[in-house]
Chains A and B, each alone.
Chain A
Amino acid sequence: MQAGARTRAPVLSVRGIRKAFGGTAVLHGIDLDLAAGEVLALVGENGAGKSTLLNIICGALRADGGSIRLDGTERHWGGPRHAMQAGIAFVHQELSVIRSLSVAENIRLGDYCARRTGFVDRAAMRADAAARLAELGAQHVRPELRAGRLGTADQQFVEIAKSLTGDLRVLILDEPTSSLTPFEADALFAVMRRLAARDVAIVFISHRLEEVFAVADRIAVLRDGRLVSDRPAATSRREAVIADMTGRGGLVAPSARPQPSTDVVLAATALRDRGWLGPIELTVRAGEIIGVFGLVGAGRSELLELLAGLRRPGGGTVRLFDGGGLPGSPGEAWARRIAFLPEDRKAAGILPNLSLLENMLLSWRRTMPAWLRLTREQRAAAPLLRRLAVRASSPRQRLRTLSGGNQQKVVLGRCLAVAPRLLLLDEPTRGVDIATKAEIYTTIGELAADGMAVIFASSELPEVLALATRVMVLARGQQRLLAENAGLEEAAVLSAAFRFQTEPAEA
């Protein structure tokens, strides 16, 4: 497209951006430059101000002070649409494709290539959509398909294609990989590089440092509303970035691996669900932490849901610590002290309008008389609030006013409140900042040391390797690996997880 001459000129230049919400300062004067064709990773803990900054850049929020220059001219956005017309596009973490419309209609949302008569030119719309998708290297997404039938990664391509007009200058991606498999994420990175080669400047937020180092040219760290560092990715060290994010060094991994006892909590043989999961062979002892790794669609969630009573088994036998088989419903699971933390916090975990206290004691209340007593509830919640270090002004606070990390702690607290024998965690740290992650890891380690059996599923390999005592790998519902974590090679886990991808003949 454009000549390489402008590659070094800053496309976007941000100076002294300040923002406060209700008297609380969120951004204290941010300076940031972005050159054409550059990929910038913006990292920092939840609440550091990343989203606020990007929302100001894309016109969704108005700054209290400071200036934004695009191609050297100072701009004041009237709203996101205004910024978009000027060439700044924002792809939100929660994708906003309209599921019932076709891919082409989504890409041309609003004008639909309509003729003057008001009738939609379907052929032109399809051709344009196909051209844009091809430009991204996503030819496999068919323009006439209903967008709701696409996977998350393809929906994301549709969103990016939507913003892909001739004058796209800056593309902003808010946690684009949070719900992608490593495989899909690689495809997204390829798209990002392709756009960067076209001189589009890209900013993305991520909590996964591996991908930050893999794809970014520069890494900017925000902490407490200040830009604490901004450096080239090639010459930066991971530890230094973490130190900038947390204000201290190193991610704390549980130091002492708990010793499993001989107490068998779960023994599953040839366990299957009614779909394609299984057979699973697994014995879990008290004090063990089983990390289940696999790509999206590998059956991680399905396995946990089966154990939590959400899915019917299709075969095999299971014997639990109390001598019974699989629970028949979530209610029965909780009553038998099998606690389950679901993957999608917003859709399946929190009760946003109820208080922190009620959210935490929701399952615990089943074990108590139906007549509620406030003192009893406060007594039950106090140790959990302390142990999990939930940051809130009051236990009466509505849960939706808490940050994502604190919401996650509350949902984890709901599990701990029933003093479970078997704790099932699906993506326990999704969308949680690094400091909270470390706290959650420490808590899980302590719980196992106290004799709880933990099975957790994760799509982040470092998390599995940091936390698990034994690792199980699933691929397309098949159990590919079950091994002690100690001495396990990262490559072995990955190759087990990807085996089906590379050898489709094996089905």
Chain B
Amino acid sequence: MAEVEARRIEGNPPATARLAVRTILQERREASVAAMLVIVFALLSAASPFFLTERNLFNVARQLSVVAIVALGQALVIIAGGIDLSVGSVIGLAAVLAAMATDATGSPALGIVAALATGGATGIVNGMLVTRARINPFITTLGTLSVARGTALLVTNGNPRAFDNWAAFLGGGRIFNVPVQFLLLILLAACMWIFAVRTRWGRDAYAVGDNARAARLAGLNVVFTRNMVFTISGLLAGLGGLLLAGMLANANPNLGLGYELDVIAAVILGGVALTGGRGSIGGVVIGAALMGLLRNAFVLLNVSGYWQTITIGLVVIIAVGADSFNRKTEDD
């Protein structure tokens, strides 16, 4: 914009291409995670002949889809300054309620509705507890995590239920060999990206997460924004439950156990600040993809799954650590 007065420019514009690259890496964490993704991809291509096969790549895509889809909602919650620990349990509850609704009515369509309604309702409850009862999001969703899991176990008496009907196509099906889950992920990521960047509601989530008090004083509806992000997160977790149940043709009340940690790790890895206000949807998808690739790497290279868990933990710590190191040097 030419109109802007540029009388005093803070810092110097990057003079060389190398400097520019460094600036991009420092400014946008998702760029450094994307670089890591490319490196892991290249290494795996070299290390394993099976990696670059269509079959394996689509498998990776299928395995990372649910985490990535749920992470889209989680990202919005964290950007708005909250956190949603209940997503793993919502996956389980939505899966069993979808199966039960289908069994009871014979209509898989109602099963889909039940899964989404379960997620949406849990999200609304989370939002209400945070905004109306003013309970801290961590505590609120820790509570609903427990309640939702318990409910899933209670209604099924702990027994898995079959989920084998046309609605399972969403989770287990393929179109031209591409997993339907993955197509859904791409579609939802695109929608979420547009929502976050191009709509007032999305920007309000950033504003509320960056400084809730300032946002309220500037006339933003903070209560609505918080309810909205929890509801979206719940809805996507409900969808995640439907997809997982469909993929396994089976709705287990323990489905999604511990998923919240994978989801949050993907969000953080993708450059979303846990303190709110910063992050991008693109980064979250890249973060989830990196986690998926790492998981695949251990399978292909035949390394113990225990190492996989350790490595993912280390990658998150290193990525976030590098980020705060960068920001520190920038502040000095």
Residues on A facing B (Cβ under 8 Å): 21-24, 47, 308, 310, 330-331, 333-335, 340, 342, 347-354, 358, 362-363, 365-366, 368, 370-372, 378, 382, 385-386, 389-395, 397, 401-402, 414
- Which of A24, A334, A351, A365 has the most chain B CB atoms inside 10 A of its CB? A351
B332 CB contacts on chain A under 8 angstroms: 21
Least CB distance, B129 to chain A, in whole angstroms: 21
Stretch at the interface among B107-115, B150-158, B201-209: B201-209
Nearest residue, chain B, Cβ from A378: B1
Asked whether, in the complex, the Cβ of B1 is within 8 Å of the Cβ of A382, the reply is yes
Q: Please name the 10 residue pairs, one residue from A and one from B, whose CB atoms are nearest each other, closest first.
A: A334-B219, A351-B210, A382-B3, A370-B200, A393-B9, A353-B277, A362-B218, A331-B219, A363-B218, A22-B11
A392 CB contacts on chain B under 8 angstroms: 4-6, 10
- Which of A342, A391, A397 has the most chain B CB atoms inside 10 A of its CB? A391
A-B contacts, 23 listed (Cβ < 8 Å): A22-B12, A23-B11, A24-B12, A47-B8, A330-B218, A348-B211, A349-B214, A349-B217, A351-B214, A352-B210, A353-B206, A353-B277, A354-B207, A354-B210, A365-B203, A378-B1, A382-B3, A382-B4, A391-B8, A393-B6, A393-B9, A394-B4, A395-B1
Nearest residue, chain B, Cβ from A356: B4
Instruction: Summarize B's interface: helix, strand, loop or mixed.
Output: loop
Asked whether, in the complex, the Cβ of A362 is within 8 Å of the Cβ of B201, the reply is no
Least CB distance, B305 to chain A, in whole angstroms: 38
Q: Give the contacting residue for B10; candidates A347, A372, A401; CB below 8 A.
A: A401
Q: B216 at interface (Cβ–Cβ under 8 A)?
A: yes
Least CB distance, B63 to chain A, in whole angstroms: 33
Task: Give the distance in Å from the alpha carbon of A340 to the alpha carbon of B218 in the complex.
Answer: 8
Least CB distance, A364 to chain B, in whole angstroms: 10
B328 CB contacts on chain A under 8 angstroms: none
Least CB distance, B277 to chain A, in whole angstroms: 4
Given contact pairs A24-B12, A386-B3, A390-B4, A352 touches B217 in the complex (Cβ within 8 A): no
Further contacts, 11 of them, CB under 8 A, given A21-B332, A330-B217, A393-B13? A330-B218, A331-B221, A351-B214, A362-B215, A362-B220, A370-B201, A372-B198, A385-B3, A390-B4, A393-B4, A393-B9
B216 CB contacts on chain A under 8 angstroms: 330
Find residues 1-31 in chain B having any chain A CB closer than 8 Å to their own CB.
1, 3-13
Least CB distance, B219 to chain A, in whole angstroms: 3
B12 CB contacts on chain A under 8 angstroms: 22-24
A330 CB contacts on chain B under 8 angstroms: 216-219
- Which of B13, B207, B278 has the most chain A CB atoms inside 10 A of its CB? B207
Given contact pairs A22-B11, A353-B210, A331 touches B220 in the complex (Cβ within 8 A): yes
Task: Give the distance in Å from the alpha carbon of A161 to the alpha carbon of B220 in the complex.
Answer: 42
Asked whether, in the complex, the Cβ of A348 is within 8 Å of the Cβ of B3, the reply is no
A363 CB contacts on chain B under 8 angstroms: 218-219
Task: Give the distance in Å from the alpha carbon of A382 to the alpha carbon of B2 in the complex.
Answer: 9
Asked whether, in the complex, the Cβ of B217 is within 8 Å of the Cβ of A372, the reply is no
- Which of B4, B218, B332 has the most chain A CB atoms inside 10 A of its CB? B218
A351 CB contacts on chain B under 8 angstroms: 206-207, 210-211, 214-215, 277
Q: B304 at interface (Cβ–Cβ under 8 A)?
A: no
Task: Give the distance in Å from the alpha carbon of A334 to the alpha carbon of B273 in the complex.
Answer: 30
Least CB distance, B223 to chain A, in whole angstroms: 10
- Which of A362, A391, A394 has the most chain B CB atoms inside 10 A of its CB? A362
Asked whether, in the complex, the Cβ of A340 is within 8 Å of the Cβ of B217, the reply is yes
Q: Give the contacting residue for B217; candidates A23, A342, A382, A394; CB below 8 A.
A: A342
Q: Give the contacting residue for B11; candidates A24, A340, A365, A390; CB below 8 A.
A: A24
B3 CB contacts on chain A under 8 angstroms: 382, 385-386
A362 CB contacts on chain B under 8 angstroms: 207, 215, 218-220
Asked whether, in the complex, the Cβ of B219 is within 8 Å of the Cβ of A333, the reply is yes
Asked whether, in the complex, the Cβ of B5 is within 8 Å of the Cβ of A371, the reply is no
Task: Give the distance in Å from the alpha carbon of A243 to the alpha carbon of B55 in the complex.
Answer: 76
Q: B199 at interface (Cβ–Cβ under 8 A)?
A: yes
Nearest residue, chain A, Cβ from B3: A382
A378 CB contacts on chain B under 8 angstroms: 1
Task: Give the distance in Å from the alpha carbon of A327 to the alpha carbon of B199 in the complex.
Answer: 26
Least CB distance, B179 to chain A, in whole angstroms: 32
Task: Give the distance in Å from the alpha carbon of A119 to the alpha carbon of B210 in the complex.
Answer: 41
Asked whether, in the complex, the Cβ of A354 is within 8 Å of the Cβ of B206, the reply is yes
Task: Give the distance in Å from the alpha carbon of A308 to the alpha carbon of B217 in the complex.
Answer: 9
Task: Give the distance in Å from the alpha carbon of A359 to the alpha carbon of B157 in the complex.
Answer: 52
Given contact pairs A372-B198, A392-B4, A347 touches B9 in the complex (Cβ within 8 A): no
A310 CB contacts on chain B under 8 angstroms: 217
Task: Give the distance in Å from the alpha carbon of A47 to the alpha carbon of B200 in the complex.
Answer: 34
Find residues 93-138 in chain B having any chain A CB closer than 8 Å to their own CB.
none
Asked whether, in the complex, the Cβ of A395 is within 8 Å of the Cβ of B215, the reply is no
A402 CB contacts on chain B under 8 angstroms: 10
Task: Give the distance in Å from the alpha carbon of A378 to the alpha carbon of B3 in the complex.
Answer: 10
Least CB distance, B41 to chain A, in whole angstroms: 30
Task: Give the distance in Å from the alpha carbon of A21 to the alpha carbon of B331 in the complex.
Answer: 10
Asked whether, in the complex, the Cβ of B1 is within 8 Å of the Cβ of A394, the reply is yes
B8 CB contacts on chain A under 8 angstroms: 47, 391
Nearest residue, chain B, Cβ from A351: B210
Least CB distance, A367 to chain B, in whole angstroms: 10
A397 CB contacts on chain B under 8 angstroms: 10
A382 CB contacts on chain B under 8 angstroms: 1, 3-4
Asked whether, in the complex, the Cβ of A391 is within 8 Å of the Cβ of B7, the reply is yes
Least CB distance, A337 to chain B, in whole angstroms: 11
Task: Give the distance in Å from the alpha carbon of A262 to the alpha carbon of B207 in the complex.
Answer: 39
Least CB distance, A244 to chain B, in whole angstroms: 20
Task: Give the distance in Å from the alpha carbon of A73 to the alpha carbon of B7 in the complex.
Answer: 42
Task: Give the distance in Å from the alpha carbon of A352 to the alpha carbon of B207 in the complex.
Answer: 9
Nearest residue, chain B, Cβ from A365: B200
Interface string of B208-241 (1 = CB under 8 A from A): 0011011111111100000000000000000000
